[in-house]
A and B are shown apart, each in its own frame.
Chain A
């Protein structure tokens, strides 16, 4: 028995002579939301297909609960949203979702699910008439069938407008609240930053980072940006604090997380000379650039 919803241990996969997955280790606890980031071709989709048992792995092990990928139990317990999903254009949304409900063996309220993803008006229209975003919503509706242990979402926000994206993350939160572990492969960094519990970054088939956002920032040692606005003389302030003057009235300082409090104390000690302080911790974008591009030995 394992208390993890998804366990991936030292998984390797070759495609021809290239190693597309290299010693990947990752685990998700029930209810955890994990973002899987990486460039195109970093191996995100391949990893997801390995978890689904759609493509064989050469080494290592994957477990969905206690089940091996592709087994009947594993397929009952995983939900999947493919990248740029499409369905047969001749079917209606209701018919397509009814098929998936029957295949999954779950008792499902098909109109209710379609309403949940905002497709109640298009229930009996052919999928051929749907927009890309609507097809994506239909794909999301089938993820909600049953109560999956693991949900694998490959680029779920592609083609969605900003409102739909918010709906999507609300649905992901619901899934997580009912105990489903959610793995989201994505390019939309600012979105996953606020909406996930953990970040995993892949680079050329290797897992180069796998931790919470704050731990990753600490690990990367990326500086915190402090912007201090002077009340009168910015040059004097810059000289005092040792930062760069960036415009007529502000000074910018970079400091490591450990030195942050010390710097703030110094700024506070300047009294009336400082009008305002703005602090920006490193963004996921900075982190992503650090981990996904840096050549690690």
Chain B
């Protein structure tokens, strides 16, 4: 039963060795710090501490960055091994396909968690040091870090799915870029268009929030915004959050990784190395 841990250890080694971990952590720290300082202006006018503003800015950042970083590791997970010809050898060993996938997932998720915690943690500490923090804003920071890891898990699993379906690592990279664009950019644009066309009708009132929360990236945003009043004020996105029950966004963000992993496992079963 410790076989998946052997895979995990090896994958961690690879992420460290090829500098992925270092680069991802640096990106997170730099972006989080930049947003914290750039976004600190409205503190006085809104009457919230600097950490709250910082968390609101970093939430927006994480929506883009967490899926991107996750897909950057995940696309190669299966297709890369097929390309190298090492998957057939790996599969001739007693470890099952589920164990292989779980081993990779554990390593990749740990790496993402590391980058997120260091990145958001550093920026949070800086914001708290310069502009103060309270129990509520600290909670918001912890929530941001944990939900970012969850969002990363969703896109790791979806990345494996594409990696199993694609013919070759290059195709998997292309598909991953498309997936990112759809979930993070186009989905929201489409919804926005629909709301504008609808002019406040039934779609906007009752359907729209549910369609929105079905997208893990939006569920992530809603969860972080709905949970903290201060963050909601600074982000100006309270409407959709109030139209949904409290559990909707957490449910979406918790179901997606499980669903994604199950789909990836199914697709991996069909891969013939």
Contact status of A103 and B3, CB under 8 A, knowing A55-B272, A91-B10: yes
B47 at the interface (CB under 8 A from A): no
Contacts of B92 in A (CB 8 A): 52, 54, 75, 78-80
Contacts of B2 in A (CB 8 A): 102
Contact between A103 and B93, CB atoms less than 8 A apart: yes
B interface residue count range (under 10 / 10 to 19 / 20 to 34 / 35 or more): 20 to 34
A-B contacts counted at CB < 8 A amount to: 74
Contacts of B72 in A (CB 8 A): none
Contact between A102 and B94, CB atoms less than 8 A apart: no
Interface window among A82-90, A183-191, A239-247, A288-296: A82-90
B6 at the interface (CB under 8 A from A): yes
**A99's contact among B6, B84, B85, B272, by CB below 8 Å, is which?**
B6
- Shortest CB–CB separation between residue A152 and chain B, in angstroms? 8
CA distance A100 to B93 in the complex (A): 8
A125 at the interface (CB under 8 A from B): no
- The digit string for A51-76, where 1 denotes a CB below 8 A from any CB of B, is 01011000000000000000010011
In the complex formed, the residue of A with least CB distance to B83 is A86
Write the residues of chain A forming the contact surface with B, with a CB cutoff of 8 angstroms.
49, 52, 54-55, 72, 75-76, 78-88, 90-91, 95-96, 99-100, 102-105, 126, 139, 142
Contact between A86 and B88, CB atoms less than 8 A apart: no
Nearest first, the 8 A-B pairs at minimum CB distance are: A102-B6, A103-B93, A80-B92, A90-B17, A75-B94, A99-B10, A86-B84, A90-B18
Contact between B93 and A75, CB atoms less than 8 A apart: yes
Contact between A87 and B14, CB atoms less than 8 A apart: no
B205 at the interface (CB under 8 A from A): no
- Shortest CB–CB separation between residue B104 and chain A, in angstroms? 12
Write the residues of chain B forming the contact surface with A, with a CB cutoff of 8 angstroms.
2-3, 6-7, 9-10, 13-14, 17-18, 84-86, 88-96, 272-273
Contact between A84 and B3, CB atoms less than 8 A apart: no
Contacts A54-B91, A82-B86 known; list 4 others, CB within 8 Å.
A85-B85, A86-B86, A90-B14, A91-B17
Name B's interface SS: helix
CA distance A9 to B3 in the complex (A): 33
- Shortest CB–CB separation between residue A204 and chain B, in angstroms? 21
Contacts of B17 in A (CB 8 A): 90-91, 126
CA distance A139 to B90 in the complex (A): 12
CA distance A105 to B6 in the complex (A): 11
- Shortest CB–CB separation between residue B15 and chain A, in angstroms? 9
Contacts of A102 in B (CB 8 A): 2-3, 6
**B14's contact among A72, A76, A88, by CB below 8 Å, is which?**
A88
Contact between A95 and B88, CB atoms less than 8 A apart: no
**A82's contact among B6, B7, B88, B94, by CB below 8 Å, is which?**
B88
Contacts of B88 in A (CB 8 A): 49, 52, 54, 80, 82
CA distance A52 to B90 in the complex (A): 11
Contact between A91 and B7, CB atoms less than 8 A apart: no
Contacts of B18 in A (CB 8 A): 90
CA distance A245 to B85 in the complex (A): 53
CA distance A96 to B89 in the complex (A): 12
CA distance A43 to B192 in the complex (A): 56
CA distance A55 to B271 in the complex (A): 9
**B10's contact among A75, A95, A105, by CB below 8 Å, is which?**
A95
Q: Which among A80, A96, A99, A139 has the greatest number of chain B C-beta atoms within 10 A? A: A99
- Shortest CB–CB separation between residue B14 and chain A, in angstroms? 5
Contact between A76 and B94, CB atoms less than 8 A apart: yes
Contacts of B6 in A (CB 8 A): 99, 102-103
Contact status of A54 and B272, CB under 8 A, knowing A49-B88, A80-B89: yes
CA distance A88 to B7 in the complex (A): 13
Contacts of A104 in B (CB 8 A): 93-94
Contact between B86 and A85, CB atoms less than 8 A apart: yes
CA distance A90 to B273 in the complex (A): 21
Contact between A84 and B10, CB atoms less than 8 A apart: no
**A72's contact among B9, B86, B94, B272, by CB below 8 Å, is which?**
B94
CA distance A100 to B86 in the complex (A): 12
CA distance A83 to B85 in the complex (A): 8
CA distance A83 to B273 in the complex (A): 12
Contacts of B3 in A (CB 8 A): 102-103, 105
Contacts of B13 in A (CB 8 A): 90-91, 95
CA distance A96 to B90 in the complex (A): 11
Contacts of B273 in A (CB 8 A): 49, 54
CA distance A142 to B17 in the complex (A): 22
CA distance A52 to B96 in the complex (A): 13
Contacts of A52 in B (CB 8 A): 88, 91-92
| Between-chain CB contacts (< 8 Å), 19 pairs | A49-B273, A52-B88, A72-B94, A75-B93, A79-B92, A80-B89, A81-B89, A82-B85, A83-B85, A84-B85, A88-B84, A90-B18, A99-B6, A99-B10, A100-B93, A103-B6, A103-B93, A103-B94, A103-B95
